Each structure stands twice: as C-alpha cells, then as structure tokens.
Amino acid sequence: MTSTLLFNIGQLVTNDPQHDGTKLGVINDAALLIEDGVVAWAGPNADAPTHHIKRKIDAHGKAVIPGFVDSHTHMIFAGDRSKEFRARMLGESYTAGGIAHTVEQTRSASDEALTNNAKSLLNEAYSSGTTTIECKSGYGLTVEDERRSLEIAQSFTEETTFLGAHVVPVEYKKNPKDYVDLVTGPMLDAVLPYSKWIDVFCDKGAFSVDDARTILKAGMAKGLQPRLHANQLQEGQGVRLGVELDVASVDHVSHLSEKDIEALSTSNTVATLLPGAEFSTRSAYPDVRPLLEASITVALASDCNPGSSYTTNMPFIIAIAVREMHFSPELALWSATMGGAKALRRDDIGHLFEGARANFSILSADSYIHLAYRPGVNLIEQVWRDGLQIK
C-alpha cells in the first residue's frame, strides 16, 4: 500500500456536508490521507494519522479543493474559428452555422493532428485543476470521422459522448431525415465500442424535438446513456424531452420557461450551465436563482469548443458564474466539482469523501473564494489525479 499524508491544509473543501453542515464540507486546519490513489481519511490536522505514512507533504496553510469535473467539452477538432469570433464581437449574431467550418477542417485532419490538438487542450485543462473531463464527437459527421473522433477521445477519457447529431452536415441539408437514419444506423453501430453517452443538439438550426427523441432512443436501445444540448438559443421543448427520457444532464439551458423549471424540479436530470458560451457569443447570461429556488441540481462546465467557448479553464468559468449569473462562490465551486460529477452520474469523483478517487488541487491561496475573487490569475499550484501529482 502506498500512502501520502497532505497536512497543514489551511482550508480543505471536501463537498461532504458532515464536516460543517454546508455543501462544501469545509475543514479548516486540515489533513488528507491518500492510500493507493483514493481518499482514506480527511479531518482536522491535529487528528491526522502518524503511523505507516510513506510520504508527507506540507500544504503550508493553503487551500485544497476537489478536482474540477468538466462534464461538457468538444475537444476533438481541427482548426479554429478566430475570424468568426472577431466578426461576432463586431456585432454579428451567433447561430450554429459556424460548425460546418470546423467539420470541414476536422474531416481533412489526420488522426495524429486531432490527437495532438486534443492532448494540448487536455494538458491545459489539467493545468487549471480539471481532473475529469467529458469529450464529445460531433465535428466529423461521417461514419468514419465520428468513429475515429471517439476512438481518440477514449484514449484519454472514459467519459466519451457520441454527438453525431450536432448539426445536419451540408451534404444532407436537402435530406435531413436521411442523416437521422445514418446517425441512428451505421454511424451509431460504428461508434458503440468507443462511446459511453449519446447526445443531441436540440435547438434552433440543429435538430427538432422529434428527431432528438428518435436519436436518443436509438442510442439508449444500444446501451448508451443519454444527455442533451437544449435551450441554448431559444426556448423550446428540449428540456422537457430530456426529463422525459431521464437524461443525465441538459446542457446550456440559457432560455427556460416555468414549465421547464417545473419539469426539472421533479427529475433526476442535472441542469448544466455553460457560461463560456455566453461570454464568447456576447449573449445574455442565464440567472441561476430560479433553478436554485426549485431545488434543481446545477453543474458548471467549460463547453470547450473552437466556435463558441474556446476555453478549458474552469476557474474562469467559476469567475463568470459568480460575477454574471448570481452564483455564490460556494455554489460555483460545488457546481464545478460535485455538480459535474452528478451530471456524469459518478459518485467517485467531484468530492473528497473517504473512498473517493484522490483528485484534488492545491491552490496558491488560503481560500477557494480567490478562484472568483482573482479572475484570470492562475491559482492552481499543484494538481493530483488518482493520488499522483500531475502538475
């Protein structure tokens, strides 16, 4: 057995309410014991185990938080859309049309190029405190390009999502039903060995509620778990479809009706907010307060993609959520850790309970509040994943 004791922690965030009665489960003047890659004990520094510890690390009074769980990314792509971003900042409105450009670039890229770009983004994410990441396909939109995208994604994460239903590709614009048949038939069969989830972009310019239902049900019948892009660009029935199918998470949810909130409040579905998209498209930020008032579980994620949220930085997402969306610093941190875990229906990550995977970051600050208080400053001093330091 390998054991590491992290001691003299000024503020340890566990997300275990038993410690202080709050969702963050903060222990001040704390210690954390790791054995064989999992959390063996967390508690006051004065009570820390002293025997049979192979390695001791002094945190020097700094804060320790669970690793971020980024439950929504699109990291398998080639090229960028910086020109589109510039035009949008000069006043053009955002629609899903720019995805076609990334599809073209991705189809023509080699496996090596796609892999290297994904690894670069993954290293960025790790460096900013993310220890678990979900990754979607959706920029290939052919049987072979979706398959290879997910095979690449599976090489670095177990949270792989088939998003063949991102948009209808240009070659099927005149026959979109034929594309739905492709997604639910040969494409689905090709990606099954590399996918855990199935997703659909159900919104203006993408897929209708009926088509989304057909696609999600086809994936579920083959053993994939459902999640859903919904209500990013306008109100619609996507959120209620997600609740109907018990999807793990409905993502974006920037435009919610009272019926949407009522449906979510009685469901097991997480509402995942992606403020990087509002930031990068200069759209209105959603307000988290109606979701909280209805006791809906909320997650935060980066939505890393080249068109509408080209960031891997979860502290940046936290800062936006606090400044623009009425999150408290506590809720933002919980939503970026435990909330993300719930959006992936995982109970071994996003927290530092006994038995959890030892995924955490040491901050170069004495409080998690600095994540929002000092936006744009890299406060992630060390990152640990499965009990091993990766940064």
19 annotated ligand binder: no
Q: Which helix (H) or strand (E) holds 4?
A: strand 3-13
139 annotated ligand binder: yes
For residues 355 and 347, give the distance between their C-alpha atoms in angstroms, rounded to a whole number: 10
Question: In degrees, to the nearest 5, what angle opens at C-alpha 382 toward C-alphas 376 and 387?
Answer: 140
For residues 350 and 301, give the distance between their C-alpha atoms in angstroms, rounded to a whole number: 13
123 annotated ligand binder: no
Amino acid at 350: G
What is the CB neighbour count within 10 angstroms for residue 272? 30
- SS3 state at 349: coil
**Beta strands 197-202 and 228-230, pairing class:** parallel
Whether 301 and 132 have beta carbons less than 8 Å apart is answered as no
Whether 12 and 42 have beta carbons less than 8 Å apart is answered as yes
Q: Give burial (CB, 10 Å; 0-12/13-18/19+) of 137.
A: buried
185 annotated ligand binder: no
373 annotated ligand binder: no
147 annotated ligand binder: no
Q: Give burial (CB, 10 Å; 0-12/13-18/19+) of 8.
A: middle
285 annotated ligand binder: no
172 annotated ligand binder: no
101 annotated ligand binder: no
Radius of gyration, CA atoms only, the chain: 21
Backbone angles phi, psi at 99, to 5 degrees: -60, -35
Whether 42 and 66 have beta carbons less than 8 Å apart is answered as no
94 annotated ligand binder: no
For residues 358 and 66, give the distance between their C-alpha atoms in angstroms, rounded to a whole number: 8
Strands (E), 74-167: 130-136, 159-165
Amino acid at 75: M
Number of H helices, E strands in the chain: 14, 17
- SS3 state at 355: coil
Residue from 372, 374, 363 nearest 11 by CA: 363
Residue from 290, 207, 206, 297 nearest 250 by CA: 297
Q: Which residues contribute to the annotated binding site for N-formimidoyl-L-glutamate?
A: 139, 305, 307
Q: Which residues contribute to the annotated binding site for 4-imidazolone-5-propanoate?
A: 81, 139, 166, 232, 308
Q: Which residues contribute to the annotated binding site?
A: 72, 74, 81, 139, 166, 229, 232, 303, 305, 307-308
Q: Which residues contribute to the annotated binding site for Fe(3+)?
A: 72, 74, 229, 303
